[in-house]
């Protein structure tokens, strides 16, 4: 294997390792949120803030990440992001309210950095395989997201390690990713400055109507995702299943969505536009959340889990694929990624706390689930616009 091939193979592995760390800091919280709430005496809305804080970090960090990367290089910026994730997750080992929230916020900053960089890395390093590589890293992301959700209760209660260990254990994959990216930085000198995938010149994506539609699509599907991972265990528990089973059912939803996270962008790229793909995913979402609302039996809840898993993973993968499919260059993809994720996650940030507040006010999950159904309709509307066969500079 030549040095170039070795570097490419390690770069792919590095991308996969980074993707492993982009969800556990968040998805590990949902199943143990009841334990955290009781131990630290938190209200439902403030417990929901644990999922909202990373999204706030995404919104503020995403626009500045391309500029930081242009100055430091993509590899160094990726390493910096992984360092923030590592420290942020590790401090949650200490059962302290301030450190819990501060660590969650810091981890969110690190996740935001890596979230913004990955689409540009893929666009630059694999220009002919954007959809395929997007599917690879989104699927990898989904694997660890579902594992983190599923093992949180067994670690916290089954092994008796408590919720602090269940949350802090996810610093280990962050450490592994850091080690590999330190090596990749040593190889960075073999890459010329002209090959950097983010350029310093300004981009006009903030003025593009299509870019805003992509941002809205990303924001609304992220709203669904983060609300679901934060509160689905509690919703299922209220429907009669044990909290441990609810955690595994949430994990199963994310596992079920793994094929969709890989196949949706690959299939979508084969069509002239992606409007029909959006419509199909949206209808599956409506069926899933409607079943969760009306379900009073295990078969209906299982149907809900299947549909929710498919739509969450498929829509997220499609949103990321749009970042490459609707741009002509890597630097434009990076600019669109920063813009779309900044606005999109600002919109998504209100989700988990809003759902918790609606439950606190109403005392039932009816209003929160109806809210998710209405948001699903918004995903369809903006997704149909984002799915048109256009580029951001043409809109």
Tell me what pLDDT residue 395 has.
Answer: 57
366-390 mean pLDDT: 94
331-341 mean pLDDT: 82
Q: Name which of 113, 105, 122, 106 is nearest 78 in CA terms.
A: 113
The answer to whether 86 and 171 have CB atoms below 8 angstroms apart is yes
- Give the percent of the chain with pLDDT over 90: 30
Task: Give the DSSP letter string of 137-149.
Answer: HHHHHHHHHHHHH
Tell me what pLDDT residue 201 has.
Answer: 41
308-336 mean pLDDT: 87
Query: Which residues have C-beta within 8 Å of that of residue 59, sequence separation ≥ 6?
Result: 341, 342, 343, 345, 346, 349
Tell me what pLDDT residue 193 has.
Answer: 43
Range name among 36-40, 100-104, 175-179, 337-341 with the lowest pLDDT average: 36-40
94-117 mean pLDDT: 88
Considering only residues 201 and 286, tell me which one the structure prediction assigns the higher pLDDT: 286
Tell me what pLDDT residue 188 has.
Answer: 62
- In this model, does residue 282 exceed pLDDT 70? yes
Radius of gyration of the chain (CA): 20
- In this model, does residue 11 exceed pLDDT 50? yes
Tell me what pLDDT residue 242 has.
Answer: 82
Q: What is the pLDDT of residues 87-99, one digit of tens each?
A: 999 998 888 888 8
Q: What is the pLDDT of residues 169-221, one digit of tens each?
A: 899 999 999 999 898 788 765 544 444 443 434 457 888 899 999 999 999 99
Q: What is the pLDDT of residues 292-309, one digit of tens each?
A: 898 778 888 999 999 999
pLDDT averaged over the chain?
A: 84
Q: How far apart are CA 321 and CA 258, in angstroms?
A: 15
Considering only residues 43 and 11, tell me which one the structure prediction assigns the higher pLDDT: 11
Task: Give the DSSP letter string of 154-180.
Answer: IIIIIS--HHHHHHHTTHHHHHHHHHH
Tell me what pLDDT residue 250 has.
Answer: 81
Q: What is the pLDDT of residues 122-171, one digit of tens each?
A: 877 787 788 888 888 888 887 887 788 778 888 888 787 888 888 888 99
Confidence of residue 281 (pLDDT cuts 50, 70, 90): very high
- At 380 the three-state DSSP class reads helix
222-236 mean pLDDT: 86
Tell me what pLDDT residue 217 has.
Answer: 95
The answer to whether 154 and 40 have CB atoms below 8 angstroms apart is no
Query: Which residues have C-beta within 8 Å of that of residue 63, sequence separation ≥ 6?
Result: 338, 339, 342
Range name among 10-19, 177-186, 219-228, 348-357 with the lowest pLDDT average: 348-357
Tell me what pLDDT residue 189 has.
Answer: 55
Q: What is the pLDDT of residues 62-76, one digit of tens each?
A: 888 888 887 887 778
18-25 mean pLDDT: 89
């Amino acid at each position: 294997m030549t040095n170039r091939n070795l570097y490419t193979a390690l770069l792919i592995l590095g991308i996969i390792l980074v993707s492993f760390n982009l969800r556990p800091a968040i998805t590990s919280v949902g199943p143990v949120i009841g334990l955290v709430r009781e131990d630290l005496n938190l209200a439902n809305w403030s417990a929901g803030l644990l999922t909202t804080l990373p999204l706030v970090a995404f919104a503020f960090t995403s626009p500045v990440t391309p500029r930081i990367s242009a100055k430091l290089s993509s590899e160094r910026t990726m390493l910096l992001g992984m360092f923030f994730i590592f420290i942020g997750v590790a401090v949650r080992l200490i059962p302290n309210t301030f450190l819990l929230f501060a660590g969650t916020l810091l981890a969110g900053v690190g996740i935001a950095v890596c979230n913004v960089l990955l689409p540009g890395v893929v666009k630059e390093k694999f220009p002919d395989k954007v959809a395929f590589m997007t599917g690879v890293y989104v699927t990898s992301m989904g694997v660890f997201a579902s594992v983190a959700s599923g093992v949180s209760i067994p670690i916290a209660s089954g092994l008796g390690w408590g919720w602090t260990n269940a949350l802090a254990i996810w610093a280990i994959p962050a450490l592994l990713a850091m080690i590999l990216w330190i090596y990749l930085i040593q190889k960075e000198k073999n890459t010329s400055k002209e090959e950097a995938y983010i350029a310093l010149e300004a981009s006009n994506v903030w003025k593009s109507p299509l870019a805003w539609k992509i941002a809205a699509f990303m924001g609304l599907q992220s709203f669904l995702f983060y609300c679901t991972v934060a509160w689905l265990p509690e919703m299922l528990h209220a429907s009669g299943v044990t909290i441990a089973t609810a955690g595994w059912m949430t994990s199963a939803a994310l596992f079920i969505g793994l094929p969709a996270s890989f196949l949706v962008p690959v299939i979508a790229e084969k069509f002239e536009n992606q409007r029909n793909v959006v419509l199909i995913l949206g209808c599956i979402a409506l069926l899933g959340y409607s079943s969760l609302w009306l379900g009073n039996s295990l078969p209906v809840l299982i149907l809900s889990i299947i549909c929710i898993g498919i739509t969450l993973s498929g829509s997220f993968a499609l949103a990321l694929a749009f970042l490459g499919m609707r741009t002509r260059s890597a630097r434009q993809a990076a600019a669109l990624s920063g813009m779309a994720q900044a606005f999109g996650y600002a919109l998504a940030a209100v989700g988990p706390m809003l759902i918790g507040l609606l439950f606190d006010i109403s005392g039932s999950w009816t209003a929160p689930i109806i809210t998710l159904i209405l948001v699903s309709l918004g995903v369809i509307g903006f997704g149909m616009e984002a799915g048109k066969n256009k580029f951001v500079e043409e809109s």
